[in-house]
Amino acid sequence: MPKKIFVTGGAGFIGSAFVRLVLEREPDTQIVNYDALTYAGNPKNLEGIDAARHAFVKGDICDRKAVLDALPNDADAIFNFAAESHVDRSIYSADEFLRTNIIGTQVLLDAAREKGVRRFVQVSTDEVMGTLPEESDAFFTEASPLQPNSPYAASKAAAEFVVRAARETHGVDTVVTRCGNNYGPRQFPEKLIPLMIANAVNDEPLPVYGDGKNVRDWIYVDDHCRGIWAAYERGASGEAYNLGSRNERQNIDVVTSILDALGKPHSLIKYVTDRLGHDRRYAIDATKAEQELGFRPEMSWENGLRATIDWYLNNREWVEEIRSGEYRNYYQKMYGSSLG
Ligand code: NAD
Ligand code: DAU
């Protein structure tokens, strides 16, 4: 019997990579992909996939009836990728983050219970654990306290709590994954790496926040998706798993690597006002996922960054279509006063 899974947010960056990976590697799995197509969701992210095993439904995870209508009766799992995902936008306005990321997660948990879905996989983030001291041996582990510092991170931490409550109160079988910064094809160009690639390609200034020494722990998107699948298949109910590649980088080093790969001058870098509440360092200890799930990231940073840059160079119309739309207003609001 083919297995049916319900993926939310599958037209976004990571969700669409997950859909591709599952269709490629799990021939007996059928996917219902439920996505509201917000500014970050893009049907083009799903071009070329196997339509016979994939059904797309446009809908909001906060819409109870629409979720119940779309969720198959015999779904084996819900994978909840749908979210407002950009920290800077949450600093401007938190409302939509609280609505989608918390209420939406509760609606999905209720639907899982009502329809008897076997397992609920919540795609969370290392940002729920706050920030780490610079240049220390400290890492985020599953025992780290939840100490979110941005409205986005707070909404994702709250989502983890509603997931926990659904398990403790109603016995929903849940697994949580917490990953670090993803990079790869089809990431919306509001995020560091695609924004820097697009600006460098167009010889525009590269806005680096603060002193550029904030550290992020980068993982190639397909490695993250493999970890989510492993958590679904082998994770223990009620557990959280940290997913990471042991690949800490200062932002300034990421930006200069991009400029070097594109043969562009470092003079394009422009230091701008720091992000409010800017977390200094993320670093993930993925030992638990390695030991219990057999999680092994496959992509090196050098190959992953090259593949990502090549994808953006080969898909300039994908980027420019976004950059020429509503994104222009966002960019002006975010960067206009510092970049002129
Ligand atoms: P994204 O912003 O690229 O995509 C989000 C997707 O969710 C879009 O397709 C959007 O249309 C959809 N969506 C938003 N609100 C919705 C709603 N109310 N109902 C239905 N669909 C809705 O995000 P991403 O970077 O692909 O992140 C996916 C998930 O992974 C998020 O939950 C995020 O918190 C988590 N995560 C992201 C990273 C990262 O580095 N990007 C790291 C760890 C965890
Ligand atoms: O750690 C996981 C998280 O990674 C995910 O949960 C989030 O959904 C995802 O957006 C990402 O959050 P960050 O805030 O770390 O990613 P972002 O790409 O926005 O920024 C990465 C770093 O680069 C951060 O230190 C801020 C800095 N930055 C970002 C932008 C957009 C700049 O210096 N300049 C910029 O223009």
CA of 136 relative to ligand 1 center, distance in Å: 30
Which strand (E) or helix (H) includes residue 78? strand 77-80
Strand partners, 97: none
Q: Quick check: 78 and 143 in contact, CB under 8 A?
A: no
Nearest partner of 85 among 63, 107, 104, judged by Cα: 104
**CA 273 to mean position of chain CA atoms:** 25
Domain ranges of the chain: 3-182+218-243, 187-215+247-278+301-328
CA of 275 relative to ligand 1 center, distance in Å: 21
Query: 3-class DSSP state for residue 176?
Result: strand
Does the structural domain 187-215+247-278+301-328 have CATH classification 3.90.25.10? yes
The pLDDT value recorded for residue 280 is: 98
CA of 266 relative to ligand 1 center, distance in Å: 31
Nearest partner of 110 among 78, 154, 143, 138, judged by Cα: 78
Name the CATH topology of 3-182+218-243. Answer: Rossmann fold (3.40.50)
- Rg value, the chain, Cα: 19
Measured by CA distance, the residue closest to atom 10 of ligand 1 is 41
Rounded CA-CA distance 94/36 in Å is: 18
What is the number of the ligand 1 atom nearest to the C-alpha of 104? Answer: 18
The pLDDT value recorded for residue 339 is: 80
Rounded CA-CA distance 253/324 in Å is: 28
Residues marked as catalytic: 126-127, 152
Helix axes 301-314, 192-201, angle to 10 degrees: 50
Query: Is the distance from the beta carbon of residue 127 to the nearest atom of ligand 2 less than 6 Å?
Result: yes
The bound ligand whose nearest atom lies closest to the alpha carbon of 40 is 1
Q: Quick check: 261 and 201 in contact, CB under 8 A?
A: no
pTM exceeding 0.75: yes
Query: 3-class DSSP state for residue 67?
Result: helix
Residues with CB under 6 A from ligand 1: 8-9, 11-15, 35-38, 40-41, 60-62, 81-85, 100, 104, 123, 125, 156, 179, 181-182, 188
The pLDDT value recorded for residue 294 is: 98
Query: Average pLDDT of each block of 10 consecutive residues along the chain (340 residues)?
Result: 94 98 97 98 96 97 98 97 98 98 99 98 98 93 98 98 98 98 98 98 98 98 98 98 97 98 98 98 98 98 98 97 93 87
Question: What is the C-alpha end-to-end distance of the chain, expressed in Å?
Answer: 59
Helix axes 327-339, 316-323, angle to 10 degrees: 80
Question: Parallel, antiparallel, or unpaired for β 29-35 and 119-125?
Answer: unpaired
Query: 3-class DSSP state for residue 228?
Result: helix
The pLDDT value recorded for residue 340 is: 66
